[in-house]
Structure 1
Amino acid sequence: MNLYTRRTAVVSLGAALAAGLTAPADARDADVRRPTGSAPLRRAHAHNDYEHPRPLLDALDHGFGSVEADIWLVDGRLLVAHEESGLDPARTLEALYLDPLRRRIRANNGTVYRGHPLSLQLLIDVKSAGEATYRELSRVLHRYRDMLSVCRAGRVHGGPVTAVVSGDRAARAPMEAERVRHAFYDGRIEDLGTAAPASFAPLVSASWTETFRWQGVGPMPGDERERLRRLVAAAHGERRRLRFWATPDTAGPAREAVWTALLDAGVDHLNSDDLPGLEGFLRAAR
């Protein structure tokens, strides 16, 4: 029995999503809703972006510099969902992310955000078997190479979109074997100080709750503040960016305290499902 037959049969994705997927391409993809002159937010990361009513597009409307898509390899196709029960053959990586990005970049004369050179990070979290899933992902990304950052023999050439592969660690081996690669690796804290170059693993991600006890209530303990500072310094010293997932994400003082600590320490990406909440925080902090 394949994953299609095991998934919950949900035909309707809701009126909002249906409208987003069936509207004309120019209406769906145009860079028109972000306030004129507002710069994109490099540090804003849309966690589980595909669960929003308009995957990708809602995050871009809020100026996010990074979006996350979980993928499963099913019958030779890359489907986007958090759990197997949510798999839908219409929700492919190409349909939800790669095709809309290509249209938008062409409409904006080569950039995701019109007038801004930001390379959007597309964090692709591999949920199915890593090696097989990455091999198919590599083939798919090759078809979109005109808009992607690329690494050739260890040298990186930037593009409007930078694909970074996270999730199942078995994806690492086939990635490292590629001489020309249209994706990069999401490392872990234990990768700091190793021989893996930043041209391969430019991002390091870790669980906040597994790394720190403090969840934003009361002052941050001094030893944890120092540990955060050391991790940022180590990542930046190796020309890598740092991100934490599982940070508090319920609106209120605790979330704002953690976000403030992350900003003050120089963490590169703040993780949230609350697009307007994180946008408002980051714009106010500028």
Structure 2
Amino acid sequence: MLGLKGCLTILTGYAIAVCALFSSRGRNPSLTDWEKLKDQKILNIDSFGLTGHHLLEFFQDNLAFLGFSEGSYHHKHVSLYYDVFKEYILRRASSKKCLPVESAIAKLNKDVNPMPVHSHNDYWRKLPLFEGLAYGARSTEADVWNIDEKILAVGHNEAYLDPVELTLDKLYTDPLLEILDEVNCQDSDSDRKNGVFFNSPETSLFFYIDFKSDDNELTYKLLMQQYLKSLIDSGYLTYYDMKKNEIVWRPVTIVLTGNYPTSLEILDNGNDDGYFESYQRFAFLDAPLLSLEPKYSKLSVVTTVSFNQLMKHCGSDSWKVSLRGHMDSNEVTCAKSLIDDAHALKLKTRIWGAPTWPSNLVKTISHQIVHDLGSDLLNLDDLYMASSLI
């Protein structure tokens, strides 16, 4: 983290720049002057070498100064913090320079290793998508509702949707396309694609799309045709190769959850050769860990169970584990056998609903789930805590 001396140096530099504007013009700086100063400040942040949660902390600590021209932002929809941060992260992407080492991904997680964490209800975070990537979370999630049969709005409750600004493309698919284009610009035609983790470009980001609307067929159609098509055309989505009968991993892996369609007639758009007649299936079902079948090795890449369901299956429950402070050897053996069965089908595993308090219990259970059970993903809301636990 920046020390006191470093912060004072930065703020002193900003103060000098502001004073220079006042003295050179002999009047209050205009909006244009403020914009120029803002642009210079944001560009100078690159020289500090901040990444990961250190970059997030810097923006939060200096937001009052970084965002003084807030009239140009749409912060009523997400936040001023989000708008200023997004502008900084995507600035180089818009410059059309091909320099992956200075990309948005380099800014977000250059010194961060991917961690087996699912960013639960990611859209509730101060920085949807970007915060999870900054901490190295291997999985993210967006709840979607189809609005007026043409828009997929993101939100937890239908009463509080914003179909203009808080949409799947504006919060997730468009930024993903930009930052992936940026790190694949040197050889865009290559079959090998770099992903969203600087230290591990081969690691795929699991992107859970939680279907909330009743008409899941329409939601799926909108998802495929309007929101995922550009990522598909660019070769960024993991797919099931229907000819070779194998999974081909790419930078982003789409997992359908919630009220999703399960019929192959819908998933493949009525075609024997896939939705876009390419012999590829680009969306995978969230398989149930406690009732796995061999078919899921073709329909899924990940399987999910709640911690309480898992413990009940093993003759216990989450309350017993919480009171004891850890899973005992019988619980570990039983749960691990289920996860091993999933891995035998080449499925990753995700566990949600583990204890979230107190911190000592969270640390112990999280460590057991990841290291003793071997689960690939764990729901954790506090990403800062997660980065220190796993």
Give me the TM-score of the superposition, normalised by structure 1.
0.85
Asked if the contact 1:108–1:114 (Cα under 8 Å) also holds between the matched residues in 2, the reply is no
Alpha carbons of 1:230 and 1:53: their partners in 2 closer, same or farther (altered >3 Å)? Answer: same
Residue among 229, 241, 252 paired with 1:142 = 229
> Partner of 2:90 in structure 1?
25
> Partner of 2:241 in structure 1?
152
Alpha carbons of 1:228 and 1:51: their partners in 2 closer, same or farther (altered >3 Å)? Answer: same
Mean Cα deviation higher: 134-143 or 46-55 = 134-143
SS of residue matched to 2:142: strand
Deviations 1:88-120 (A, max 9, x none): 111111111111111111222332123521111
Deviations 1:204-235 (A, max 9, x none): 11122233213433242444323211211111
CA distance in 1, matches of 2:89, 2:112: 25
RMSD of aligned residue pairs (Cα, Å): 2.4
Matches within 5 A, 1:127-206: 127-129=212-214, 130-139=216-225, 140-145=227-232, 146=234, 147-153=236-242, 154-173=245-264, 174-175=266-267, 179=274, 180-192=280-292, 194-206=293-305
CA distance in 2, matches of 1:49, 1:30: 19
Equivalent position amino acid for 1:238 in 2: L
CA distance in 1, matches of 2:388, 2:376: 17
Mean Cα deviation higher: 270-279 or 30-39 = 30-39
CA distance in 2, matches of 1:201, 1:24: 32
1:114 aligns with 2:205: no
1:91 aligns with 2:199: no
> Partner of 1:6 in structure 2?
none
SS of residue matched to 1:170: coil
1:224 aligns with 2:331: yes
Matches within 5 A, 1:247-266: 247-250=354-357, 252-263=359-370, 264-266=372-374
SS of residue matched to 1:166: strand
CA distance in 1, matches of 2:257, 2:335: 22
Deviations 1:123-168 (A, max 9, x none): 1111112222112212232232021112231432221111111111
Mean Cα deviation higher: 267-276 or 182-191 = 182-191
> Partner of 1:5 in structure 2?
none
Give me the TM-score of the superposition, normalised by structure 2.
0.64
> Partner of 1:71 in structure 2?
144
Mean Cα deviation higher: 198-207 or 111-120 = 111-120
Deviations 1:67-93 (A, max 9, x none): 111111112111111111221111111
Q: How far apart are 1:251 and its partner, in Å?
A: 5.1
Higher helix share: 2
Equivalent position amino acid for 1:182 in 2: F
CA distance in 2, matches of 1:46, 1:24: 20
SS of residue matched to 1:244: strand
SS of residue matched to 1:31: helix
1:55 aligns with 2:125: no
Equivalent position amino acid for 2:356 in 1: D
Structure with greater contact order relative to length (CA < 8 Å, sep ≥ 6): 1
Equivalent position amino acid for 1:99 in 2: D
Runs (4 or more) in structure 1 with deviation over 6 Å come to: none
Q: How far apart are 1:187 and its partner, in Å?
A: 0.7
Q: How far apart are 1:197 and its partner, in Å?
A: 3.6
Asked if the contact 2:109–2:136 (Cα under 8 Å) also holds between the matched residues in 1, the reply is no
> Partner of 2:180 in structure 1?
105
Q: How far apart are 1:239 and its partner, in Å?
A: 0.9
Mean Cα deviation higher: 30-39 or 155-164 = 30-39
Asked if the contact 2:106–2:198 (Cα under 8 Å) also holds between the matched residues in 1, the reply is no
Number of residue-to-residue matches in the alignment: 271
> Partner of 1:271 in structure 2?
379
Q: List alignment gaps of at least 5 residues for structure 1.
A: 1-9
Mean Cα deviation higher: 94-103 or 139-148 = 139-148
CA distance in 1, matches of 2:129, 2:336: 31
SS of residue matched to 2:323: coil
Deviations 1:146-205 (A, max 9, x none): 21112231432221111111111434542265623211111112441x231423111111
